[in-house]
Structure 1
Amino acid sequence: MSSESPLLVKPKKDTAIYHSITPETAQWNYLSFEARSMAKDDVWEHDTQDHELVIVLLSGNFRVSSPKGHWTTTNGRTNVFNGIAHTLYLPRNTEFTLTALSQTLDIAYGWCKADKDFKPKFVTPEETPVVIFGGDNATRQFNDLVPPGFGCQSIVVREVYTPSGNWSSFPAHKHDERILADDGTVLEPIQEETYFYKFQKPEAYAIQQVYTKDGSLDEIVRPRHNDVVMIPRGFHPVVAEHGFHCYYLNFLAGTDQCLANTTDPDHEWIYGSWSSKDNRLPLVTAKMNKH
């Protein structure tokens, strides 16, 4: 197991922007990601320019003002294990000001280039689709923050809750070559992805493998609280350490706004093997935001 993998990014200390991943630093083509911690009344001013951008509220409350609209959170979760995210999509060429309204504010945001115009969209916890997916000890919870068909160019955002000891992103899948059906349907896109992890206790961790069938990429990493794992290509399953629930936030960007993928053929049979769902799920609900 490698803790030195270039795919595992540790958070920066003593800085407001504690993660910053760009196509230049990641050596890929589409996706950028940052995580930012703010104190009350701190202000972030930004212009999306030729990018679409999605802001995900991890904890706290904020207000966003722009010529394209104004949005305020009043029931932001206190941490990712105590509610569902508020999500704000902002199209290209949007100047905005984000102000922290709580004593501490934790946000993550991703962006990618766009050449089309879309409407801004603010999604509350109550409006967020929740899916319990998988089965047996591969059951997990999806909160689809920016799902396929959202009304944007290529960005996709999902937060995933994996109960203690369960497998996630499993059966292993990939999205690194563009494959089309005869009718033009996307069977697999090219997408880059970030996994941003959070845990309830500092000693907790997950284990994630990133591999290709030809063996040119085969990394096993152990992400802890606030770590990011970058997925440039290949299959990428996850398992949560026994005793600790696992949260990760996925941003994806690439050739298509979809979640199509290709399963590792060695694991395809597992879809038909599940006999039950994990009754610990859902781990979070929108009702938890009403604290």
Structure 2
Amino acid sequence: MTSHLLRKPQSQSIGEGITLIQEVLTANSPLEYVGFKLIDLAVGAVYEQTVEQDECCIVALTGKITVSEGEHRFENIGTRESVFEKKPTDSVFVSGGASFTVEAMTPATVALCYSPALEPRPTKLLPASGVGVVHRGKYNNQRMVHDILPDSDPSASSLLVVEVYTEGGNFSSYPPHKHDRDLLPEESLLEETYYHELAPKQGFVFQRVYTDDRSIDETMAVEHRNVVIVPAGYHPVGVPDGYTSYYLNVMAGPKRIWKFYNEPDHEWILNRD
């Protein structure tokens, strides 16, 4: 059965030296608030875009890039050759109506994370030095998080962006939690995408996306450079032994706050001694 939530990588040329790897937008997915693109750039390639009604976080996943928007120019940003160096990277935030370019100073992979521009915000460099690094979980539910654009950072009006690393033999986004009800302060409504990478590349993880009424209930074998779409529901990730999981999360909804709800059947694991 073909999954409606799992997107395999494409390799589509969209310009000289520019390869589109993933494109998950509101026009081609069940999402209303979140968009995601992944592009590979050859040295000297220039990607151009105008974000009309959206805001965008441009993440230098790997390689060095220069981002220009109006009077702003952020040169030679990016900190790593592989996401599995496990150190934060640089990003740039741009808001509705902005036209920007991304030029590759070295071979580069760039993530473009979109959500509605609810209010105008200035273009801003989000340097690696300002990215919070948080370790979450215990037992076999441990992961490391890079907070690129958390809800505590007012740079964006709706967009949230984080990176997560999970070692083999651990579960992440676990116990299963969701954020699909506009029910603050208990829970916020946030759609989400997961962009996955694996080390070594031939690995896979398992991700389940399911709702309480099981109107959504999919369990997927997710491979390198796949995207999983989470329009609603719980969304845990399990990582087999011997492999390391990386994923980049993009979240957005009507209110820019991350309040999640744990599935009651599994919440007990948090209180083990």
What is aligned with 2:118?
115
3-state DSSP class of the match of 1:88?
strand
Contact 1:42–1:100, Cα closer than 8 Å, also in 2: yes
What is aligned with 2:189?
190
1:127 deviates by 1.5
Contact 1:68–1:94, Cα closer than 8 Å, also in 2: no
Deviations 1:170-193 (A, max 9, x none): 01111111102xxxxx32122111
What is aligned with 1:13?
11
- Give the alignment partner of residue 158 of structure 2, picking from 142, 154, 159: 154
Partner AA of 2:261 in structure 1: T
Q: Percent identity?
A: 31
What is aligned with 2:133?
130
Give the length in aligned residue pairs.
266
In the alignment, the residues of structure 1 paired with residue 99 and residue 78 of structure 2 have an alpha-carbon distance, to the nearest angstrom, of 25
Partner AA of 1:215 in structure 2: R
Deviations 1:18-69 (A, max 9, x none): 1111112112211111000010110011112221100111110000112141
3-state DSSP class of the match of 1:116?
coil
What is aligned with 1:249?
248
User: 1:93-108 alignment to 2 at 5 Å?
Assistant: 93-102=97-106, 104-108=107-111
Deviations 1:191-245 (A, max 9, x none): 1110000012232010011111212211100111000000011101011111001
What is aligned with 1:79?
82
Partner AA of 2:160 in structure 1: V
Task: State the structure with bigger RCO (CA 8 A, min sep 6), 1 or 2.
Answer: 1
In the alignment, the residues of structure 2 paired with residue 96 and residue 214 of structure 1 have an alpha-carbon distance, to the nearest angstrom, of 43
In the alignment, the residues of structure 2 paired with residue 5 and residue 68 of structure 1 have an alpha-carbon distance, to the nearest angstrom, of 43
In the alignment, the residues of structure 2 paired with residue 24 and residue 95 of structure 1 have an alpha-carbon distance, to the nearest angstrom, of 21
Gaps of 5+ in 2: 14-18
1:74 deviates by 4.6
Contact 2:200–2:244, Cα closer than 8 Å, also in 1: no
1:264 deviates by 0.3
3-state DSSP class of the match of 1:220?
strand
3-state DSSP class of the match of 2:103?
strand
**TM-score of the superposed pair, with normalisation by structure 1:** 0.88
In the alignment, the residues of structure 2 paired with residue 56 and residue 88 of structure 1 have an alpha-carbon distance, to the nearest angstrom, of 7
Partner AA of 2:176 in structure 1: A
Deviations 1:232-259 (A, max 9, x none): 1110101111100100000001112121
Deviations 1:56-115 (A, max 9, x none): 11110000112141112355200100132212111212111211000x110111112213
Contact 1:62–1:99, Cα closer than 8 Å, also in 2: yes
**TM-score of the superposed pair, with normalisation by structure 2:** 0.93
In the alignment, the residues of structure 1 paired with residue 109 and residue 257 of structure 2 have an alpha-carbon distance, to the nearest angstrom, of 27
Partner AA of 1:44 in structure 2: Y
More strand by share: 2
In the alignment, the residues of structure 1 paired with residue 211 and residue 52 of structure 2 have an alpha-carbon distance, to the nearest angstrom, of 35
Gaps of 5+ in 1: 181-185, 276-291
Over the aligned positions, Cα root-mean-square deviation in angstroms equals 1.4
Deviates more, 1:118-127 or 1:261-270: 118-127
2:167 is the alignment partner of 1:175 = no
